[in-house]
Structure 1
């Protein structure tokens, strides 16, 4: 007779050796999510049927290398898409039944096929600019990525950062104000970093030194920054918009050769400096977190502060300064609103981006690369709403308005579910 033991997936021990047979854990969350999307696809193409041909434009008029557009008949494309999705879902169920991990590439291919089918259905008899869709997605994802990177650092070191929204909003306000006064967008970037750090100082002081509940401090800071920036906008910026709220925009800097690559060239390599700083931040945070002494100390403090303390790491000091670094990164994300996108500050212009960035942290399982991909997904969903509305798609406008938030909820609750963050995150450390 064999006995099963929990928490040891994918391994089986010969009972002759020790009389124990370890349990095999089968995870069905992803296959079930795949099946739901197959049902949604079938409903779209066969119940809410739309006829016609969708044009997917792969190049713009000023592209150096032009690609031909794709003309996809809606019904034929729908049949092929549903079949492909069903086959991938069957494969996912088989892998889950074998207690095997569903590879990331399968999930990525599934998502691309589904999105191709959805665009074909939503854009029936319309023309969808793919380059514009991706370009806008990167723009809308930029503040989310900066916020998510700050959230990853903060939570990895043991401090729950609900104040990302406040850091983004403070960065947006101060960058617009300073850039308008100095007529220098780079001064605005530095001001945004300072603003994010100042908000983080308050979060760190109350959460680390005074042991106040970190979630409550974060919520209060968001309300405080929203109220303060709204007050200063009404009393200072609005009184003289030309002097105080007309920041110069950051210019686009195309990278030679790379910017001429079809589709991705304009999307990734014909951007403002803040987007290039985003690429650098992603690489530095990932490398620093997992391949440097700084990252090892940071993760040790977030996982087991007592053990870190015994080897000489100053836990609270490490937490304080890393929360400040996280705020500096999030502040840069706020600068994108005013210096790279909108061009001026308005009340509560972040519109909940900080909370979506926090969702990206959880969806990305506190990993900078996965959190970045999650932020890109949410940004894509937001811009898809804008693009479909601009081309006059027949999709109900109410659904389009809900789309980014539906994707966020489904991603965090449906695909992620219950996950374990850093063990000491949210727990104050009192040196014994």
Structure 2
């Protein structure tokens, strides 16, 4: 029982990181833009949030935890939105290839974060923002102490619960509001939406920027909560970014599916660590990477099944990845 609880406690925070990345990409792709720069945007959001909290803690005599959270969130949102703006300008205004632009943005985001991160590390292997970490990882008072239920359900930072609420809000927005339906129309057939009086360029820009901002929060959560407020020059955020892109396909572009899908990915990713205690199966060291590939294998299987069934509601937006030329309408 204790191993199962430990497995869940490891899977839910891990899943929350990729849930933010996936939800941001779902919003972007609903407009018809395929942004493969999610890993780079998560890098930008994570570094900007950490750097702002780090300097606030070290340059202020009596830093306030709440203010530290606000500053980190604000800076992460600004940095990731700027990353989205770069992508939007290149692909929407200049009509550059979306796949190439997204991959370039991933490299750009990683490079910028690691370059400026050198000044914070200052020769060390890592730097930390303990005050921000304590604020972001704070558990719900009283409820987190209610036995096994409290330990499993209420033992996480506020961004875990914010991710679930955001998924529900996005579902309602995309399926119940006029603006959300217009956004989906832009992603399905921008020419028809344009003819109906919908400003295609505006919707694409806003969706791309909002999607990037949401993805950036995933990077922030990784650094200041999941990674205990520590910044180090590793490529873990990039790996999680690609897992978030895979999660978009797994969820068939539905925000609500991102909730259970993200936690399932988390369970599968950490399966190798808990198999020995749960089932008495020893996992050789060389099989660890193979087991961690399971979420990607599951995504491929889902993609095959969805493609064979050809249900309209489970397909990506019809104009996904295709630049819109109004002159060809």
Higher helix share goes to which structure? 2
Matched, 1:237 2:132: no
1:426 aligns with 2:321: yes
**Equivalent residue runs for 1:219-298 within 5 Å:** 219-234=103-118, 236-239=119-122, 245-247=128-130, 248-249=132-133, 250-254=136-140, 256-257=142-143, 259=144, 263-298=148-183
Partners of 2:76 and 2:149 lie apart in 1 by 29
- Cα offset for 1:426? 0.8
Are the aligned partners of 2:125 and 2:232 in contact in 1 as well (CA < 8 Å)?
Answer: no
Structure 1's consecutive aligned runs of 4 or more residues displaced over 6 angstroms after TM superposition are: 240-244, 389-392
Q: How does 1:299-318 map to 2 (within 5 A)?
A: 299-318=184-203
Q: Of the candidates 412, 415, 420, which is equivalent to residue 302 of structure 2?
A: 415
Q: Which residue of 2 aligns with 1:382?
A: 269
Residue 232 of structure 2 corresponds to residue 349 of structure 1: no
Query: How much has 1:388 moved relative to structure 2?
Result: 4.4
Question: Is 1:208 aligned to 2:92, yes or no?
Answer: yes
Match of 1:21 in 2: none
- Are residues 190 and 389 of structure 1, via their aligned partners in 2, closer, same or farther at CA, if it must alter by over 3 Å? farther
Contact residue 155 and residue 302 of structure 1 kept, 8 A: yes
CA contact (8 A) 1:169 1:349 kept: no
Kindly indicate whether residue 243 of structure 2 is the aligned counterpart of residue 366 of structure 1: no
What do you get for the CA RMSD once the two structures are aligned? 2.3
Q: CA deviation at 1:407?
A: 3.0
Describe the SS at the equivalent of 1:287: helix
1:195-231 CA distance string (max 9 Å, x none): 2111100111111000011111000010111122222
Q: Which residue of 1 aligns with 2:204?
A: 319
Question: Which of 132, 138, 142 pairs up with 2:6?
Answer: 132
- The residue that corresponds to 2:64 in the other structure is none
**What SS does structure 1 have at the residue aligned with 2:95?**
coil
Equivalent residue, structure 2, for 1:394: 282
Q: Indicate the larger mover: 164-173 or 416-425.
A: 416-425
Give the C-alpha shift of residue 142 in structure 1.
1.0
Unaligned runs of 5+ in 1: 1-55, 58-128
Contact 2:128 2:231 in 1 (8 A): yes
**Does 2:78 correspond to 1:191?**
no
Displacement of 1:130 = 1.3
Partner SS, residue 231 of structure 2 = coil
Distance 1:295 1:264 in 2: 36
Residue pair 1:389, 1:397 contacting (<8 A) in 2 also: no
Q: Does 1 or 2 have the higher relative contact order (CA < 8 Å, sep 6+)?
A: 2
Whole-angstrom distance in 1 between the partners of 2:40 and 2:103: 9
Instruction: Give 1:266 shift.
Output: 2.3
3-state SS of 2:35 partner: coil
Shift of 1:380: 1.2
Conserved? CA contact 1:364–1:372, under 8 Å: no
Aligned 8 A contact 1:201 1:324 in 2? yes
Q: Deviations over 1:139-158 (max 9, x none)?
A: 11111000000111111111
Hey, what does 1:150 align to over in structure 2?
24
Inter-partner Cα distance in structure 2 for 1:239 and 1:256:
40
Moved more, 142-151 or 304-313: 304-313
* Higher CA-based Rg: 1
Deviation of 1:346 after TM superposition, in Å, equals: 1.7
Matched residue of 1:270: which SS?
Answer: coil
TM-score normalised to the size of structure 1?
Answer: 0.66
Given that residues 148 and 372 in structure 1 are in contact (C-alpha distance below 8 angstroms), is that contact kept between their aligned partners in structure 2? no
Task: Name the CA shift for 1:243/1:227 in 2 (closer, same or farther; >3 Å).
Answer: closer
Q: Output one character per residue of 1:261-291: Cα deviation in whole Å (capped at 9) or x when no partner.
A: 6544323322212112112211111111111
